[in-house]
Amino acid sequence: MRGRGRVCGMALSEHARNTIKGWLFVSPWVVGFLVFLVVPIGLSLYYSFCDYSLIGRWPARWVGWENYRQMWHDPVFWRALRNTFLYAALALPAGMVVSLVQALLLNVSVPGKTVFRTILFLPSLVPAVAAAVLWAWMFNSRYGLINAVIGKPLSWVHISAPNWLADYPLPALALMSLWSVGYTVIILLAGLQNIPRELYEAAVIDGAGAWRRLWHVTLPTLSPVIFFNLIMALIATFQVFTVPTLMIKAGLRSDTQFYSMVIFDQAFTNNHMGYASAMAWVQLLMILGLTGVAFWTSRRWVHYR
């Protein structure tokens, strides 16, 4: 009996040592998660109900729902919200369609397909700042590549080439967003290669042509991957910030502000951190609401094997 007690005590002690070692190994991540994520989220929620500035106003003064009431009557808030929704309405479906078409093309067995895949993915590796500078030159009304291509045909019908960033800022930014669909294409391509060949063989035996195989086999089987890309693109689109901020200096209209840009200006330009925190929480609720709608509708068109 005494021997058994000593063995149990040693086993318990060894288990405790392993537990301590495990916590020590994960402690950098746990500390980082708490300090850089949980605490800022909690503080932003608190500051959203406060009159608080990063400079010269400490401690934060509790104002209740005043920031949210101010937001309701703020024309800049509504203009940024409208711009963000219009941009999402253009960029989101266009990006999904273009990435799906590219994935279908890259899934075809042709010579040199690896080279084509590399070429289509390379733009996704270009930093956002470099991409913004490049596209600013492409959108230039006098020297840009786009107007150089379409300018001559437009002149035949007596139409002048547009000033993209001034006249059509949201379509221009939506067009630019197609530059970085490489990651989405790779995910879709992986999903396409995971579709069982037996499904296509059965469809061919039933007499289904290429379009019917695409509609009744490829898209339903690929729907979970499409849904995943939709959620990721939805979240990214409603947080767009870097590119339009840089493009404003290249000629983009200053009133073409997006939601995240207004949050940044309120927090770090106007020093209204409390108001910016309230806007950030409204943004979170909007994204959660749209994501919830997407999950609700997914029951009708997403098919899991």
Give domain status of residue 56, yes or no: no
Average pLDDT over residues 140-164: 83
Would you say residue 68 lies in a domain? no
One domain, residues 81 and 228: yes
The answer to whether residues 215 and 279 belong to one domain is yes
54 is a domain residue:
no
Predicted TM-score (pTM) of the model is 0.86
219, part of any domain: yes
Statement to judge: residues 241 and 201 lie in one domain: yes
Q: Is residue 85 part of a domain?
A: yes
d(C-alpha 39, C-alpha 46), whole Å: 11
Same domain, 207 and 173: yes
Query: Does one domain contain both 6 and 122?
Result: no
Instruction: Tell me the C-alpha distance between 64 and 46, whole Å.
Output: 10
Let me know if residue 58 belongs to a domain. no
Contact (CB, 8 A) for 84 and 240: yes
Residue 26 shares a structural domain with residue 80:
no
Please give the mean pLDDT across all residues of the chain: 88
Phi–psi pair at 158, nearest 5 degrees: 60, 45
128 with 237, same domain? yes
Mean pLDDT of 82-95: 94
Q: State the CB neighbour count (10 A cutoff) for residue 184.
A: 24
156 and 32, same domain (yes or no): no
Q: What percent of the chain has pLDDT over 70?
A: 94
Q: Which two tokens stand for residue 117?
A: 């895949």
In a domain, 165, yes or no: yes
Looking at the fold, whether 163 and 254 belong to one and the same domain comes out as: yes
Domain count, the chain: 2
Is 10's pLDDT higher than 70?
no
| Per-residue pLDDT at 39 | 93
Residue 176: how many other CB atoms lie within 10 Å: 21
CATH number at residue 128: 1.10.3720.10
Residue 59 lies in a domain: no
How many C-beta atoms lie closer than 10 Å to residue 40's C-beta? Answer: 12
159 vs 5, residue with greater confidence: 159
Domain that holds residue 166: 73-301
More reliable by pLDDT, 157 or 211: 211
Q: How do residues 167-215 score in pLDDT, each as one tens digit?
A: 888 999 999 999 889 899 999 999 999 989 898 889 898 888 889 999 9
